[in-house]
Amino acid sequence: MNLEKIFEPKSVAIIGASEKSRKIGHVLVRNFFKSFEGDIYPVNPRYDKILGMKCFDTVKDISGDVDLAVIAIPAKAVPEVIEQCGEKGVKGSIIISGGFAEVGNKELQDEVKQIADKHNLPVIGPNCLGVMDTYSGVDTLFNPRYKMDRPRQGGISFVTQSGAVGAAVMDWAGYKGFGVSKFISYGNALNIDEVDLLDYLKEDETTNVICAYIEGTKRGKELIDKAKDVSCDKPIITIKAGTTEKGSRAVSSHTASLAGSKKVWEAAIKQSGMIKAKGIDEMFDYARAFAEQPLPEGNNVCIITNGGGFGVLETDYCIEHDLNVTEFEEKTKQQLRENFPDYAAVNNPLDLVGDANAERYRVALEACMQDDKVDSLISIILFQTTDLGSEVVEVISEINDKYDKPLIACSAGGEYSVLHMRLLEEAGVPTYNNLISAARSIAGLTYYEDFLNYPVSRPHEIRF
């Protein structure tokens, strides 16, 4: 099915629109009113107008074309409304409403599916949060904006069966300043599931990396085949929930899908090239690096720091993640000796020592970027030192734009450090507040490059 009109509609009907501020139908209208530039048609026979816009009795009463219908009404009324959408020629639908197979009402869900399929109508949901597209302005997330932040535009797309997980992730991404392209909560997967969504996101120009929270699937083999296909173009980072016996039972009651065994899923991940994450933090550690940075040509990493102990720790973490803390070329060592004080050792990890300023970071980054033995760089910045200030953010940002090697930053500390970490993040430099995340992210880039070079001959899984 063609999903274009779900993500990039020119017109949207909100069925179940409401004037009451606490109703989902009101939040949906307000969301579109704030972010969507196309035509908005509230639908509810109880009202003449909502937020100053004419309200229609049914979707069939709208004179213009309707690309997308967002449905937030009681479950028992959904079949009739889906039939009306089909007769109207609506191109896509999102059913927010719950009360279907997840509560045992499978017959009602099957009836809706039969009607949607008859009209070739793609449906996201039911029992979901729906879709947010930061580029088109589609926003069916019915959590109010003052409670749930919206992320800025970026290259990460997030697919999830769980609306609650998705809502928390989007709120967190917005607060952290991470860039997101699309958010898709697909719930019970009436006739659009994770396989279809991967297929769509593969061709989506604003998606650089795909994150997927999967509880279960009804099309296991198709998912593996599709993930393998997509992974050759874009990385897929996945969290698989319901891997224990009790967790599997919880999946069945949540979205009425089959969780599958842990061993089967681990084998599927290895075969398909997907990258496994243990939790949301890990997922976004990887995703931010993939969204902003190029892939390395090898596993040789350079560590630059103004705190020796942090360099030693990061060396251990990099080695634990199968990265090589490489030796510098002689020309690099010579350039560093000429520009650094005598008490700064020119080894890897490269300790710029406690009196380092922004210019010393510039010299170090330039030299190491030009070293053929260096494939990727981790820049550790401890803002607590006297001579280091905001200038280093501009330096690192300029180096990041100048060279085609992956560069990530790591900083630990309080409010001052967090402020500058956010500035780096906004400048396109993934920035982490702990050393393990930094090492793991470079390892993810390296692993994916390895997969692209050897997609068949090697089993792939990052070691933790």
Domains and CATH numbers, the chain: 1-126 (3.40.50.720), 148-292 (3.40.50.261), 294-453 (3.40.50.261)
SS (H, E, C) the chain: CCCHHHHCCCEEEEECCCCCCCCHHHHHHHHHHHHCCCEEEEECCCCCEECCEECECCHHHCCCCCCEEEECCCHHHHHHHHHHHHHHCCCEEEECCCCCHHHCCHHHHHHHHHHHHHCCCCEECCCCCEEEECCCCCECCCCCCCCCCCCEEEEEEEEECCHHHHHHHHHHHHHHCCEEEEEEECCCCCCCCHHHHHHHHHHCCCCCEEEEEECCCCCHHHHHHHHHHHHCCCCEEEEECCCCHHHHHHHHHHHCCCCCCHHHHHHHHHHHCCEECCCHHHHHHHHHHHHHCCCCCCCEEEEEECCHHHHHHHHHHHHHCCCEECCCCHHHHHHHHHHCCCCCCCCCCEECCCCCCHHHHHHHHHHHHCCCCCCEEEEECCCCCCCCCCHHHHHHHHHHHHCCCCEEEECCCCHHHHHHHHHHHHCCCCEECCHHHHHHHHHHHHHHHHHHHCCCCCCCCCCC
pLDDT band at 4 (very low <50, low <70, confident <90, very high): very high
| pTM, to two decimals | 0.86
pLDDT digits (tens, 9 = 90+) for 254-301: 444 444 567 777 777 777 889 999 888 899 899 999 999 999 999 999
pLDDT digits (tens, 9 = 90+) for 106-163: 999 999 999 999 999 999 999 999 999 999 999 999 887 777 888 999 999 999 988 8
pLDDT digits (tens, 9 = 90+) for 403-439: 999 999 999 989 989 999 999 998 999 999 999 999 9
What share of the chain in percent tops pLDDT 90? 74
pLDDT digits (tens, 9 = 90+) for 215-261: 888 888 899 999 999 999 999 999 987 555 554 455 444 444 444 56
Q: What is the mean pLDDT of the chain?
A: 91
